[in-house]
Chains A and B, each alone.
Chain A
């Protein structure tokens, strides 16, 4: 089955700097890649997603890139702010039932 690996497990950046989180997946049939943000004690919230027919997608300070050949995708956050501090999860879906396989998560700390 699908396996998603996520790096790094923790990331500390200075406010205003950029943050990059990387994920790799194993199943070449995966075609949908969402990213979730989870604040302490809260539910995961979808922040951006990308489908396999697209290489890059942007939404204000957040962007996601996908390299299907290498089977990896990345989340880029620019001009980080303290409120970006949270746990971020990547995920991949192979289609049937839209089942998502999640990475282990990255704790992002933005220092002001």
Chain B
């Protein structure tokens, strides 16, 4: 039982390049999330999904796209990377339904855009 797994762990991109971050969970959770963490700003929600085939915008969605084709996977895409997207990205999941519970986070992806 791995929980939430993120790949890659580190990546350096040049401005304008594209990449996809993969998040996989094996807990049969309905809800999945992508956050970015920047110094002094806490974690900010980029996009989220409340079930397979659904996605929605969070607080800071510009420059990112997501897909949830399978329940266990949530992909975050950067079509044209910018230096402002240098950050640590965390994926998280929660069971869903009416009960509110804390997230299980992945180990993070440190992305640097030069």
Q: Measuring CB to CB, which residues of chain A are less than 8 angstroms from any residue of chain B?
A: 1, 6, 9, 31-32, 34, 36, 42-46, 49, 51, 89, 93, 95-105
As a 0/1 sequence over residues 38 to 65 of chain B, the CB contacts with chain A under 8 angstroms (1 = contact) are 0011111100101000001011000000
**Does B33 lie within 8 Å of A102, measured CB to CB?**
no
**Does B100 lie within 8 Å of A98, measured CB to CB?**
yes
Q: How far does the alpha carbon of A99 sit from the alpha carbon of B60 in the complex, in Å?
A: 13
Q: How far does the alpha carbon of A95 sit from the alpha carbon of B99 in the complex, in Å?
A: 9
**Size class of the B contact interface (CB-based, 8 Å):** 20 to 34
**Does A1 lie within 8 Å of B105, measured CB to CB?**
no
Looking at the assembled complex, report how far the CB atom of A54 sits from the nearest CB atom of chain B, in whole angstroms.
12
| B interface secondary structure, majority | loop
Partner among B41, B96, B102, B106 whose Cβ is within 8 Å of the Cβ of A43: B106
Q: How far does the alpha carbon of A105 sit from the alpha carbon of B107 in the complex, in Å?
A: 18
Known: A43-B107, A97-B56, A99-B33. A34 touches B102 (CB 8 A): yes
**Does A105 lie within 8 Å of B103, measured CB to CB?**
no
Please give, as numbers and ranges, the residues of chain B lying within 8 Å of A103 by CB-CB distance.
42
**B25 interface contact, C-beta 8 A:** no
**Does B33 lie within 8 Å of A95, measured CB to CB?**
no
**Does B48 lie within 8 Å of A1, measured CB to CB?**
no
**B94 interface contact, C-beta 8 A:** yes
A-B contact pairs, 6 of them (CB 8 A): A44-B43, A51-B100, A89-B43, A101-B59, A104-B42, A105-B40
**Does B50 lie within 8 Å of A97, measured CB to CB?**
yes
Please give, as numbers and ranges, the residues of chain B lying within 8 Å of A97 by CB-CB distance.
31, 48, 50, 56
As a 0/1 sequence over residues 72 to 114 of chain B, the CB contacts with chain A under 8 angstroms (1 = contact) are 0000000000000000001000101000111101111000000
**Does B94 lie within 8 Å of A101, measured CB to CB?**
no
**Does A43 lie within 8 Å of B105, measured CB to CB?**
yes
Please give, as numbers and ranges, the residues of chain B lying within 8 Å of A1 by CB-CB distance.
59
